[in-house]
Structure 1
């Protein structure tokens, strides 16, 4: 397949679909009328900021990449960073808010907006399954700020766990949580033993499974040519159907929306015309996405869509730093004093994994984002020691452990 065209399809899908609630969802979704009423009170700046951030990050990842697939979940990344941002302060908080698009909004507006969006988009409905969850795993013995823990639980409905991150089971527990929340579509977010300097790991997981409102017939799927960006041609399984869909056409592109289930979610597919290219389309999209965010009129569309399944793993540090989030990654400059009184405390890694499977029945997608907070090396134990009575001492060679001097002190003032 043309990997760049697939990347744009996936970006449209993730931006349109992966906007569920911030915690594990067990409640039923609102019906279309209830959602329409609730949407009127939602602060639209939250959604606008998230979409804009997603496109900016998509651009950075595309420009930094090797021309392959670019798959991301703006919601997952924004949510993981939003929890982290609540523990930041000063210039670090300002930079993060600027990159995430929250200028002009205060902490209460941002958190309340995210909470309302969670309520608006929570639960599952006919033909649509949405699951999303947040978790915070912090090193045993670290005094995390009470206000930060309460925010994580009350606003983002995070599972908060104090854990021996140096223990053998810590990696398994976090990855098992990821596996469970994504229906085993993403097996892990931490692939190596946890660094002993890690203070906390914040994780967002999203799972989506939607059945097309108008399914493709498997009998209609045929192997057809797909022209890659370099002009070469490959055979791909092309799904086919004719139907009425929201459709819009520009001078250099075509766009269609394919609804899922009861129609509250859809896939947006944008295709450059033969005389144009994905590079030209992306340049337009990054500059002004509004043509693809408006309502489309319905048209009878003869549609062909490739069947595809893609997995992607990315480290987002460089892309986020290039967008302006610099201090958060800087060991000396980072200020996360709202999270814990640990210095230094900074973001060591923002990892992102995605999965998508588009077929005749519908679409299954999952995303996980982790933010690893790094500080000082983990202490073996937590203890208090006041040398206020007679004591023994030794001056030793650290490598051989040979005691060069030793003695007992019963009175420090005695010469």
Structure 2
């Protein structure tokens, strides 16, 4: 289906550097000039409320995406979407800002302390055992430099830098430059975030978030135990899927027709929570934030004979229609107010999102990116048997803060 560096600078300072041009996909990329805003001192804060907001927002996107095609696999990164759209929210004013805050489920009050804490928590996930990278960038036409206050706010909240290039005079070169950078950050897993003709001559800014992760299971599955097994797809067909199997202790919980099995990664902080609905459930999962919180809060060690399919999921889409349905339509319309970015900022043109999730016997590899274009004027002992042999949900999360890095619905594990 078509789906942070940290720099502390004195207040008011801007750091400027230059990068040489490269060539990718047959299109010449541009020379880029980098500017960094000042990181403001903010009070210490708990990243938990923003992590819960990302989970609630991600579940709403998953549900809306699924309802458009209930038989399709879906994979997305609530964390990447929240960061990418969060940078747009920093530019929004008035009712546009209020509508975005409601859609993104943002808690009330000044978001900067919490966003700073969230960024620091994300960076802390990059360890010897888990390789995680997240990068936020504001790409601007050279003639449309954003307000300095905006640059300082996104530097404080997201460690975001400003990249100056020629968007309006060379939209195709700008698109190639952004795609090449996202491809590099995600190590090739998101090779083309921005499709052809997405960047136009009236595009003034492109705000991007890129996230990549490689993590090994705390206890790996044995490849010799993986074997074909029946899987009842969301389309009502029975397919033969490569099913991994292991008997060991996992965190298990049940609530309101859902069974959760928590598979930890080697660092002990990240896990993938596999969520299996009741066998009688049909259609899209309808997993609420309250049910997810109840499940993750009730996980208890249980000896489990677990069977779960290997998956290789990919999705890419312009989420403008879905975000409009979820309450953000004003940001894309003629009444949008994004003047916090620039007096020439008109409205959102697109929100491209791409994600990839690979789950196998050794662990998980995943990557996602979000790009928002803004228009400018001008054989062990037997345990409890849990078999993921029907559509289910996968959530890769930080068990300390609850940050949802990746979220997927597996409708058919034999399809990408």
Alignment TM-score > 0.5, same fold: yes
Give the match for residue 79 of structure 2.
75
Deviation at 1:88, TM superposition (A): 1.1
User: Given the superposition, is the C-alpha separation of residues 250 and 48 from structure 1 closer, same or farther in structure 2, using an over 3 Å criterion?
Assistant: closer
TM-score by length of 2: 0.76
Give the match for residue 212 of structure 1.
217
**Structure 1: which 5+ residue stretches go unaligned?**
4-9, 11-22, 27-39, 378-415
Are residue 142 (structure 1) and residue 144 (structure 2) matched? yes
User: Given the superposition, is the C-alpha separation of residues 217 and 192 from structure 1 closer, same or farther in structure 2, using an over 3 Å criterion?
Assistant: same
Structure 1 CA distance, aligned partners of 2:211 and 2:360?
19
Q: Equivalent residue of 1:96, what SS? A: helix
Deviation at 1:171, TM superposition (A): 2.1
The structure with the greater share of residues assigned to strand is: 2
Deviation string 1:76-99 (CA, Å, 9 cap, x unpaired) is 011011111111111111111111
CA contact (8 A) 1:25 1:130 kept: no
Structure 1 CA distance, aligned partners of 2:352 and 2:148?
26
Deviation at 1:43, TM superposition (A): 4.7
Q: Equivalent residue of 1:98, what SS? A: helix
Q: Equivalent residue of 1:183, what SS? A: coil
Deviation string 1:360-380 (CA, Å, 9 cap, x unpaired) is 110000000011001234xxx
Are residue 85 (structure 1) and residue 89 (structure 2) matched? yes
Deviation at 1:121, TM superposition (A): 2.9
Deviation at 1:251, TM superposition (A): 6.4
Which residues in structure 2 correspond to 1:375-390 (within 5 Å)? 375-377=376-378
Q: Equivalent residue of 1:122, what SS? A: helix
With 300-309 and 144-153 compared, the bigger mean Cα shift is at 144-153
Give the match for residue 335 of structure 1.
337
Which residues in structure 2 correspond to 1:14-413 (within 5 Å)? 23-24=4-5, 41-106=45-110, 110-123=111-124, 124-165=126-167, 166-167=169-170, 169-193=173-197, 194-250=199-255, 252-274=257-279, 276-279=280-283, 282-285=285-288, 288-330=291-333, 332-342=334-344, 345-377=346-378
How many residues are treated as equivalent by the alignment? Answer: 337
Deviation at 1:104, TM superposition (A): 2.3
Deviation string 1:310-369 (CA, Å, 9 cap, x unpaired) is 110011111111111121101x201111110116x1000011000011001100000000
Structure 1 CA distance, aligned partners of 2:138 and 2:234?
42
With 52-61 and 77-86 compared, the bigger mean Cα shift is at 52-61
Q: CA RMSD in A?
A: 2.2
Q: Equivalent residue of 1:191, what SS? A: coil
Greater length-normalized contact order (CA 8 Å, ≥ 6 residues apart): 2
CA contact (8 A) 1:59 1:286 kept: no
For the pair shown, the structure with the greater C-alpha radius of gyration is 1
CA contact (8 A) 1:25 1:131 kept: no
Q: Equivalent residue of 1:63, what SS? A: helix
User: Given the superposition, is the C-alpha separation of residues 287 and 297 from structure 1 closer, same or farther in structure 2, using an over 3 Å criterion?
Assistant: closer
Give the match for residue 384 of structure 1.
none
Structure 1 CA distance, aligned partners of 2:268 and 2:322?
34
User: Given the superposition, is the C-alpha separation of residues 368 and 230 from structure 1 closer, same or farther in structure 2, using an over 3 Å criterion?
Assistant: closer
TM-score by length of 1: 0.76
Q: Equivalent residue of 1:248, what SS? A: strand
**Structure 2: which 5+ residue stretches go unaligned?**
8-43, 379-416
Deviation string 1:124-162 (CA, Å, 9 cap, x unpaired) is 224211100011111121142111122222331123111
